[in-house]
Amino acid sequence: MTTSSFFTNRMHLTDEGVALYVDAMKLKRTAELPKEMLKHVEYCPDCQLQIVELYDVLKNEVYDTTMKHPYFDRVEEPNVGYTSIMYRVAAVLAGVALLGVGYYFITTTSIQQTPPSLVEKEKPQSIEQQGNLAETNESVRRKETTVQQQDFAANFVESPNLEDLVQTQFRSIAVEVITPKAGDVVQQPVVFKWKGVNEPLTIKILSNKERTLASANVNTNSYTTKKILSPGLYYWKLETKDEVIYVGKFLVR
């Protein structure tokens, strides 16, 4: 069983070679792979990618370690021919379905050779780590998505303190708000307009966590935001130099 069967004419791993390497990773027997194969994979990004992709496809497959492997557990008896057990899995590499490649298979007769020498595991383990990393990254992505969804929803939670003040009728000045009305979904930049007030005012925009995001002194009856607001629930206030005269809210989608 020569190592040449594991390489193409262009000196890259064949489908059988890739499948054998993945078997070794799953069985934690990379030290028993041919030295030529280990050396090639160490410096070949293309073959590394194929190995990691196939490993990722088979990450949930459980190998039966009680069965003899046709390569790693082959019988070394002189002048005795045998045919190895055939194995098959589906390998998906770079979006192309390749059938018949997988839990390494090869048929051979009259074999007589020395088992592969043990080699250092450091570099092959880096490939195993890449395979494990594919599983870890998927788990991290799911967690990040959940956190992002939770953060997004939290931006729309009402503020109990500010909700009590929304549309409250303040006695001193009767301001009439034109836009945005309480609860409106607005486009950006947000335009605020009101009437009924003839003195300078301070407008404040607050998050639903009551943090002031913008504050400006205005001498007219309108104001336009200068910064883009993230999706969420927002509150806004109109104040004279002495008191609050209006509290409203709006939504950014």
24 burial class (0-12, 13-18, 19+ CB within 10 angstroms)?
buried
- Burial group, residue 192, by CB count within 10 angstroms (0-12, 13-18, 19+): buried
In the chain, what's the furthest Cα-to-Cα distance? 108
Residues 141 and 187 in one domain: no
The CATH number given to whatever domain includes residue 233 is 2.60.40.10
Q: How far apart are CA 181 and CA 250, in angstroms?
A: 7
Among residues 105, 128, 150, the one where a domain terminates is 150
Q: Are residues 126 and 233 in the same domain?
A: no
Question: Do 8 and 131 fall within a single domain?
Answer: yes
Residue 231 reports pLDDT greater than 90: yes
Backbone phi and psi for residue 138, each to the nearest 5 degrees, phi listed first? -65, -40
- Whether residue 35 is found in the same domain as residue 114: yes
Query: Pick from 150, 179, 207: which residue ends a domain?
Result: 150
CA distances from 143 to 56, 230, 232, 234 (A): 19, 22, 22, 27
Stretch 226-238: mean pLDDT, rounded? 94
Indicate if 114 and 183 belong to the same structural domain.
no
pLDDT digits (tens, 9 = 90+) for 83-109: 333 333 433 333 333 333 344 443 333
CA 55, CA 53: separation in Å to the nearest integer?
5
Give exposure, 61-93, as e/b (b: 16+ Cβ within 10 Å): eeeeeeeebbbbebeeeeeeeeebeebebebeb
Report yes or no on 155 lying in a domain.
Answer: no
Q: 246 - beta bridge partners?
A: 238
- Same domain, residue pair 68 and 165: no
pLDDT of 60-85, one tens digit each?
A: 877 777 888 888 887 654 433 333 33
Tokens standing for 112? 């007589």
Residue 115 lies in a domain: yes
Q: Contact at 8 Å (CB) between 96 and 82?
A: no
Higher pLDDT: 1 or 43? It is 43
**Residue 115 sits in the same domain as residue 48:** yes
Whether 98 and 144 share a structural domain: yes
Q: 188 — phi, psi (to 5°)?
A: -110, 145
Last residue of a domain, one of 150, 176, 204: 150
The residue segments making up the domain with residue 176 are 160-252
Arithmetic mean of pLDDT, 224-245: 94
* C-beta of residue 41 within 8 angstroms of C-beta of residue 13: yes
Handedness of CA 85, 14, 117, 63 (dihedral sign): negative
Number of domain units in the chain: 2
